[in-house]
Every structure is written in structure tokens, then in C-alpha cells.
Amino acid sequence: MIDISNLPSVTFDLGKCLHASEIKGMMKKLGVKYYCYAFIYNSTVMKYGQSADNDWIRGSFGERIYRQAFQIPGWPTKPSVKSAGCDMLDVIKNFPGINKNNVCIKIWDMTNYPLAVQDDPRHEVTQLEDQFLDAHIKQYGLLPLGNLRDESHIRRKSRVTDQHFNSIFDIE
């Protein structure tokens, strides 16, 4: 279990952003590479998610949450309905009257978290997302409305940690 009290976190109030692209700039400024997130509408968790991709290598930080946030009504411009992040359109259907001014995104930064598998940051990031989803189910009896499918059976894979691997094989 990951102790979230030891993870840096930040909350972006979308009502204070003029353009969705500001999210990417804030994530870059903070240096957040790997993270879990929650979209929160009027104090209700809409969905949990995670990003452990390597877009930051190309200089694009926070791409996943930017694409999803841009789909929320209230921005001065609108994304193409074919653009990446349009899966968020299915989520916002569950929140009639939603506007970006009533949404915030909480980020748990796992960039410097001590990974058990150095080559796979997704392992711990996925573990944390699963923790949030499990806690939500325990409290409310169901997934957040924006987590449209229970994919825990796919994600609950075990991994051989670097420490265990190195104890089995003599690698120089």
C-alpha cells in the first residue's frame, strides 16, 4: 500500500485557468512526470486516473489531464470531437450542467517515488490509482461515475521487483 501522506500533491482549480493548456505549463513547471489524479466537480470525485507515460521526454507534461480537462464545457475554445481526450465526453454526461469553473484536478506526484521496478513506473502509479478506486468503492459502494469500467482485474498484476531480480541473477 502506498502512503499518500508522503506524496507531494497539488490541486489545480480550472476556474482560475483561462486556457486548458495552462495545465501543461503548470505540470512542466512542477516537473511532474508520473502521477495519479482525480477530477473533482463540486466536491464530488468524477474520476480517478493515472499517467505514467513518457510524454515529458518530448517536453509535454500533463498531456493526459490537459486533453481530458479541455473537453469540459466552459473554455473559450472547444477541442475537436475527434481529439484525444474525447473519452471525457462520456464522463461529463454524468454531470449535467458541468462547467470547468466548478472543477478542480488533484494531482499526486509520483515522480520521485522509490520505484520497485525502475523500468516500469506504471506499476506503482497503477497501484495508487487502484487504492483510490478501492477506497471509493468501500466508502460509496461503487466506482466514481467517471470510471466507467472496473478494470481492476486487468491491472492487478504482480511484478518482479528489481531487488528480487538482482537477488536471483548476478548482474554486473
Q: How many folded domains does the chain comprise?
A: 1
Q: Supply angle C-alpha 56, 10, 96, rounded to 5.
A: 95
Q: Where are the beta strands (DSSP E) in 9-164?
A: 9-13, 35-41, 44-51, 103-109
Percent of the chain past pLDDT 70, that is, above it, reads: 82
Write out pLDDT tens, residues 2-36. 999 989 999 999 999 999 999 999 999 999 999 99
Which pLDDT score is estimated for 124?
A: 87
| Domain around 88 | 4-168
- Report pTM: 0.85
